[in-house]
Amino acid sequence: MENIPSIPNFKLLELCGQGAISTVWIGVDAHGIKRAIRIIDKKKHAKFIEQERKAISAYRNVANQHDNLLDILYLGETPKYLYYVTELADNVQGYTSKYEPDTLAWRIQHHDLEINEILEILDAILRGVAQLHQNKLAHRDLKPENILFVKQVLKIADPGLVSMTTENFTGGTEGYMPPWSNPTGIESDIYAIGIILYILITRQDPKYYPVIPTYCNFKNIRELNEISLKCCESAPAARYHDIAQIQQDTAKLRRKHRKWSLKDCFISYWKYAVLVLLALSLAWNGYLFQKIQPPKKREMTLTETEQLLDYTKSRINSVKINELELCLNKIRESNSPYKKQEKTRNTFAYLQQYVDCLKSFSTEDSSIFLFSLISDSSLFNDKAEQIETMKMFISFNPDCKASVTSNISAYMRMHAQGNEEYAKVFLERLKAIDLSQKNPFAVSFLLVRLANYMCRCGNYEEAEYWTNKMEELTPNIGPVLLMKFQLLYKQGHYHEAEKLLHKMNEEHVQGAIIIFLYEILRDKIRETEHVQKVAIEG
């Protein structure tokens, strides 16, 4: 049986929570008012006491001014304990039953939360954290267990790790801490918010992040998942930098998912409701008329064909092969005049080839092949549409952030389109990947493509960086040596390039290539020497 601590002015009734270094009790004061009291044994946890005292004091002045932060009513000490008194969370079992606090963890476990409920919870968390950040404080231990509901209002609690946002501080709960080194307080809180959102939409343990279970409805959670991914993004250029940026995105979602009551809809849209009813009546009459007519095979117009192709293209990231085939067969069997239009004909052919490619891999799910397609595809009407589709794919397939192929393809496409900002995001993601855990030869051949592209663009510094990465993975293989030769040649270091050719010859690189490179190099060396001679004589 737990020894009941002695706290001034309170009678402790029951133990209701246990933290790493503290216990939480329900206490009642002289007026019969119940409070939550968090207690820390000063002797057992001596090395944490000063940090806890500073954290609670800093948090208290800020929390008491905001609805979404737990109100600390009193901070006190006895010779044995440091303790603080707070509001008491609601009892999920009801007022007269044994106390069980209403936490976000409990709600996730016991309720299927709808999109609007998740957005309300997320907005309340963001408001509370924003209050801390505006006062230069970071919570550093955000998780569902530390988020309570008091009189049905969400409150961020357990401020034991609160510190200044500028302090270099490490700590928190495993699974909720950023994986990169030396995160700031703001980065730590934003990352934890991303993990909490992931748990809200998947009900999964944080250790499974970013995997989306098959039982989740991708269509419903896609936009929320994008926010979660952006909170936890390892590339600094791609993630949120402050709470305000997250709030901008959630505000858009709230407007999109706003629920209207039947009364609101009728008052605002009664004219449209009459038109809808009339349209339904006509449609029903048309349906009944059609039922008594013999079926006719109608030829699709060119406009209808284009619309169906656009619809198929817009769903290519998630649709299954059989659905793609149904759309294409409908066009093919209708004798539509689509073949007369080059654009429509090419789009149809491209989609058909895509289906054939997927079939060759014997899979129903087309998504695993999509990224390479969309990064180089000519199916899109404009760059913005292509970028939006790429973002959508990443939302559905967050593991592609660790894909060397996906990041290289996306970088090259964005760079070629002049979208430097987004190209930089993919390049930073690529740099964040631990290449040593990949197949070294496969990665090297992919990096040859990237370095070669950068060399063609005149970005020799980056090309050299990736060439060195290749050499670390697979030293002295032909493609790496050829890439190094190209860099030296392009930058005019002809004599160094000649020395490298000797090494390539020793490494038994194909003789025909060596002879070809020697020829073009000798011409450049002779040309350079001639220029130097003329300069000296002059």
| Domain final residue pick, 195, 229, 256 | 256
Answer yes or no: do 47 and 186 share one domain: no
Same-domain status, 26 and 115: no
Q: Determine contact, residues 176/192, Cβ cutoff 8 Å.
A: yes
- What is the spatial distance between Cα 56 and Cα 10, in angstroms, rounded to a whole number? 20
Torsion of CA 210, 213, 218, 223, to 10 degrees: -30
Q: State whether residue 92 is helix, strand or coil.
A: coil
Pair (215, 121) in one structural domain: yes
Read off the CATH number of the domain in which 64 is found: 3.30.200.20
Domain stop point among 256, 285, 309: 256
| Structural domain includes residue 34 | yes
User: Domain check: are 191 and 150 in the same one?
Assistant: yes
Q: Are residues 454 and 495 in the same domain?
A: yes
Residues 157, 125: Cα–Cα separation, whole Å = 11
Asked if residue 194 is part of any domain, the answer here is yes
- Whether residue 210 sits in one domain with residue 175: yes
Q: Are 178 and 191 in contact (CB under 8 A)?
A: yes
Q: Please choose, from the candidates 253, 292, 262, the residue with its C-alpha nearest in 3D space to the C-alpha of residue 119.
A: 253
How far is the C-alpha of 483 from the C-alpha of 331, rounded, in Å?
47
Same domain, yes or no: 75 and 125: no
- Write the secondary structure of 161-187 as one string of H (helix), E (strand) and C (coil): CCEECCCCCCCCCCCCCCCCCCCCHHH
For residue 190, tell me if it sits in a domain: yes
Q: Which domain holds residue 118?
A: 104-256
CATH number of the structural domain spanning residue 467? 1.25.40.10
Say whether both 20 and 112 belong to one domain.
no
pTM of the model: 0.61
Does 354 map to a domain? no
CA distance 285 to 294: 16
Is the residue at 356 inside a domain?
Answer: no
Amino acid making up residue 81: Y
From first to last of its 538 residues, what are the pLDDT tens digits of the chain? 458 899 999 999 889 888 888 899 999 998 889 999 999 999 999 988 998 899 999 999 898 889 999 999 999 999 999 999 999 999 988 766 688 899 999 999 999 899 999 999 999 999 999 999 999 999 999 999 999 999 999 999 999 888 888 776 667 899 999 988 889 999 999 999 999 999 999 999 999 898 888 788 877 888 999 999 999 998 888 899 999 999 999 999 988 877 655 555 555 555 566 566 666 666 666 655 555 444 455 567 777 777 777 777 666 655 566 777 787 787 777 766 666 777 777 777 767 766 665 554 443 344 444 566 666 666 667 767 777 777 766 666 666 777 788 788 888 888 887 888 878 888 988 888 888 777 777 788 889 889 999 998 999 999 999 999 988 887 767 778 888 888 888 888 888 888 877 776 665 455 556 666 767 777 777 766 555 554 555 5
Q: Tell whether 126 and 243 lie within a shared domain.
A: yes
Alpha-carbon gap, residue 15 to 98, rounded angstroms: 11
- Clarify whether residues 460 and 536 are in a common domain: yes
- Total domains in the chain come to 3
